[in-house]
Amino acid sequence: MLKYLKLSALLYSFVLYFIVIMPCRAQTKDSLMLRKITNDILLHGKCYPWLGSMCRTIGPRLSGSPQAAAAVEYVYQIMKTLHLDTVYKQECMVPHWVRGEKESAKILTTNAGEFPASICALGGSVSTPAEGITAKVVEIDSWEELKKMGGEGRIKGKIVFYNRPFDETIIQTFAAYSKAVDQRYNGPSEAARYGAIATIVRSMTNRLDDNPHTGNMGYNDSIAKVPCCAISTMGAEQLSGLLKIDTGLRFYFKMSCETLPDEKSYNVVGEIKGTEHPEQIIVIGGHLDSWDLAQGANDDGSGVMQSLEVLRVFKSLGIHPKRTIRVVAFMNEENGGRGGSKYAELAKLHHENTIAAIESDAGGFSPRGFGITGTTKKREEIERWKNLLFQYGLYDFGGEGGGSDIDPLKVQGVTLIGLTPDSQRYFDIHHSALDTFDNVNKRELELGAASLAMLAYLISLYGL
């Protein structure tokens, strides 16, 4: 009996060790490493000065531009200095749209004179005639209203003004953006369907100011292509107010934008090979291109530099990941998505095993968590690390995740993850002249980089 009790006690000790003590020790070890990663980034991080240098010396980086080419080389050289296992450029052809001369616009009233209006051409728009366009304006708040007025012939020969604002009751501003942006993208062709000669769209922001916000739009090739511009929110409010008291009001604007032949460009790729499962790849990235009105600091220079910081901190701390960490600076997210599509195409061609793709493309603001798109099992595997990440302000794992550059990998069964920063200030600056380096907070940027690095470390250690 005593022998049986001793064996039972020994067995109990083994069970206790493997079920309770061993996992606790592993979690303690992981917690210490996450702290080392965060401390190193907060004390010795390079993402902030890297971003500052790119923004100030290169500036706006619209696809096809000389600045975009300079940014490719800049990131390539940073990767080379990190002594990675692999660094290369991945060729892709990208669209080349240019804005031309600064746009001009004014509201022409019948009895109160003229008022200047702040506008900018939407990406991909055709130009106006050299003398500009002058016409009466029809304000539209919904597709139903457009269809009704178009059917009645009240749109033909006029400028359609889309003035549907962000829904201020939606807490997550990206959701508010999603509900409003269809009028920017689809508006020109839908208005032209009913004979409109041009369109104006309220800028995609919930901030009331005089800065117009650009962004991509799309034409239906079976419908006439009409010029389209964005007007500042203050300009939209003024135009709407004047239309209510002056039915004869006209709007004048002039744009000289054009689309040039496609240009050769590149994604920039750097990686640290996994020590045990090098064939299992964790992709981390952001997009290198930006709109041409500002420096593209938050959209998305911040995401690129945060991703590079992951590589730097792994090398700095001598972390040898079990699975391959691959950082990609994608090209042409803003007006074509060619870089993301080319990356996914080549990943499929080479039969790569990408176990997770993480994107940072929501600004360099304080991180709040990660959105996840994948199977329930994969989501649960990531959420088991919530206790480790909570102390770093990462608590929100409830939403869907991904990003324009990594979304093409979804059909290959890849788990998509998007860094979720605080979103309240993002659309104040998004696609506008305010997206400059001075609107990036160093500590917030570094905490976002630490969030990416911590998640990459855990996935590299345990897999998905």
Q: What is the pLDDT of residue 16?
A: 41
Among 258, 277, 302, which residue terminates a domain?
A: 258
**307 in any annotated domain:** yes
**24 in any annotated domain:** no
| pLDDT above 90: residue 178 | yes
Question: 251 and 292 share a domain?
Answer: no
Average pLDDT (31-58) is 98
Question: 87 and 193 share a domain?
Answer: no
Question: 335 and 409 share a domain?
Answer: yes
Q: What is the pLDDT of residue 15?
A: 44
Query: In this structure, what CATH number is given to the domain that contains residue 202?
Result: 3.50.30.30
Question: 56 and 118 share a domain?
Answer: no
Q: What is the pLDDT of residue 27?
A: 74
**127 in any annotated domain:** yes
The verdict on whether 333 is a catalytic residue reads: yes
| pLDDT above 70: residue 304 | yes
**10 in any annotated domain:** no
Q: What is the pLDDT of residue 122?
A: 98
**225 in any annotated domain:** yes
pLDDT tens-digit profile of 79-101?
999 999 999 999 999 999 999 99
Question: 42 and 57 share a domain?
Answer: yes
Question: 75 and 162 share a domain?
Answer: no
pLDDT band, residue 4 (cuts 50/70/90): low
Question: 232 and 329 share a domain?
Answer: no
pLDDT tens-digit profile of 114-139?
999 999 999 999 999 999 999 999 99
Query: In this structure, what CATH number is given to the domain that contains residue 89?
Result: 3.40.630.10
| pLDDT above 70: residue 23 | no
Question: 424 and 408 share a domain?
Answer: yes
Question: 108 and 230 share a domain?
Answer: yes
**420 in any annotated domain:** yes
- Domain of residue 212, residue span: 103-258
pLDDT band, residue 28 (cuts 50/70/90): confident
Q: Which two tokens stand for residue 11?
A: 């067995």
Sheet holding 277-287, edge to edge: 86-98, 258-272, 323-330, 277-287, 353-359, 415-421, 367-373
**433 in any annotated domain:** yes
Q: One of 271, 309, 333, 334 is an active-site residue; which one?
A: 333
Residue 285 contacts residue 304 (beta carbons within 8 Å): yes
Q: What is the pLDDT of residue 8?
A: 57
Among 258, 286, 315, which residue terminates a domain?
A: 258
Question: 275 and 174 share a domain?
Answer: no
**21 in any annotated domain:** no
Question: 365 and 456 share a domain?
Answer: yes
Number of separate domains in the chain: 2
Percent of the chain with pLDDT over 90: 94
Q: What is the pLDDT of residue 246?
A: 96
Question: 420 and 276 share a domain?
Answer: yes
Of the two residues 23 and 332, the one the predictor is more confident about is 332
pLDDT tens-digit profile of 404-430?
999 999 999 999 999 999 999 999 999
Among 239, 258, 277, which residue terminates a domain?
A: 258
| pLDDT above 80: residue 194 | yes
